[in-house]
Amino acid sequence: MDRHLKEGDFLIGMKFPVDFLTNVSQAELEVSAHVYMNNLLYVNTDCPEQIILSDSTKVSVDISRVGYVPLYGSGDKKSILALFSPADPLAAVALYLLGKWWTVDNILKTSDLARDGIIEVTTIGERIVLYVLNRVIYRVREMNSEEDLPFLCHGGKDYAKICWCNGGAVGFYSVKPSGSLYNCFSTKRYQLPVMDSIFVRKCHRGDGFGLQMLKNFVLSFQHDSVGLRYPLTKAMYKMCEKYLCQYPEYTDLLWEVEGVGGLNQRFNIAKRSQTMDLRAFSCAAPHP
């Protein structure tokens, strides 16, 4: 990539990280990043490399703004190299992937026309897209600190799907499948599939992507009952209400779940939504 390429630019035939990071290992990314960091120590600081963001902000690449971030949470040793904003030292604006800096917005793009719809996360490139959607787009840019709760980092083997549309990632959801461990400190296992996070970018809300992901979740597991992690927002209740309006025969399908979802830890969403005034809430807001 040209060192001054803006994040909104698109080149014909250009591949984005999710397109070429299909058969690449985490170790290869880390080796490339370590080599770059070693070389950065000897770069002429009078003429630094610059990344140009979509608002025309230029971010110089120097050792004081570059650092490693854990891809799968603080307890995991796997990491990627990030460039941070001068205005916010906790906000990553670009990631270093196999010899190039990629702005976070370009990381969410694809040139693969077949990458469309709701697709399961399997490759390291898709894991990085999931990381950016969760930890950068939602947590740094779009989370309302007064209303929303942060998601935990998704683990390297967590079941998750990304929603793609018109060459970009617009949202994701993740699931704890039935039978999976509640956490690494417990021997308890989930009693039913539980959607533990769902997110649609603000610029794509109101277009039905949240409802599409809910339908995909139900169809992917085909259980008599599926759960959504407690506490549900009113926006999530409204989305469930829309689903139940389309499929009124499934009033016993959706449950709000605490813990592993035992019989005394689940609450019927159809019944609860009848007691709420949901008219003022938009669908597909973040759900912890």
Three-class HEC string of the chain: CCCCCECCCCCCCCCCHHHHCCCCCHHHHHHHHHHHHHHHCCCCCCCCCEEECCCCCEEECCHHHEEEEECCCCCCCCEEEEEECCCCCCCEEEEEECCEEEEHHHHCECCCCCCCEEEECCCHHHHHHHHHHHHHHHHHHHCCCCCCCCCCCCCCCCEEEEEEECCEEEEEEEEECCCCECCCCCCCECCCCEEEEEEECHHHCCCCHHHHHHHHHHHHHCCCCEEEECCCCHHHHHHHHHHHHHCHHHCCCEEEECCCCCHHHEEEHHHHHCCCCCCCCCCCCCEC
- Residue 5 resides in a domain: no
Q: Rounded mean pLDDT of 191-201?
A: 97
Same-domain status, 71 and 178: no
- Residue 263 resides in a domain: yes
Structure tokens at 47: 């003429």
Q: Tell me the C-alpha distance between 132 and 62, whole Å.
A: 22
Same-domain status, 123 and 88: no
Same-domain status, 139 and 237: yes
Q: Which of 107, 134, 154 is the C-terminal boundary of a domain?
A: 107
What mean pLDDT is reported for the chain? Answer: 89
Domain count, the chain: 2
- Residue 283 resides in a domain: no
CA dist list (Å): 164 to 17, 83, 209? 15, 25, 10
Same-domain status, 125 and 266: yes
Q: Which of 107, 141, 163 is the C-terminal boundary of a domain?
A: 107
- Residue 81 resides in a domain: yes
- Residue 175 resides in a domain: yes
Domain span including residue 90: 17-107
Lowest mean pLDDT among 125-139, 216-230, 263-277: 263-277
Q: Tell me the C-alpha distance between 141 and 174, whole Å.
A: 20
Same-domain status, 54 and 128: no
pLDDT in tens, 238-270: 999 999 999 999 999 999 999 999 999 999 999
Same-domain status, 143 and 223: yes
Q: Tell me the C-alpha distance between 258 and 30, whole Å.
A: 37
Measured between its terminal Cα atoms, the distance across the chain in Å is 36
Q: Inter-axis angle of helices 234-246 and 209-221, to 10 degrees?
A: 70
26 vs 282, residue with greater confidence: 26
Residue 229's CATH number: 3.40.630.30
Same-domain status, 256 and 128: yes
Residue 144: pLDDT band with limits 50, 70, 90: confident
Same-domain status, 84 and 127: no
Q: Check whether 4 has a pLDDT greater than 60.
A: no
CA dihedral 74, 77, 80, 86 (to 10 degrees): 40
Same-domain status, 95 and 190: no
Q: Which of 70, 89, 107 is the C-terminal boundary of a domain?
A: 107
Cis peptide before 177 (omega within 30 of 0): no
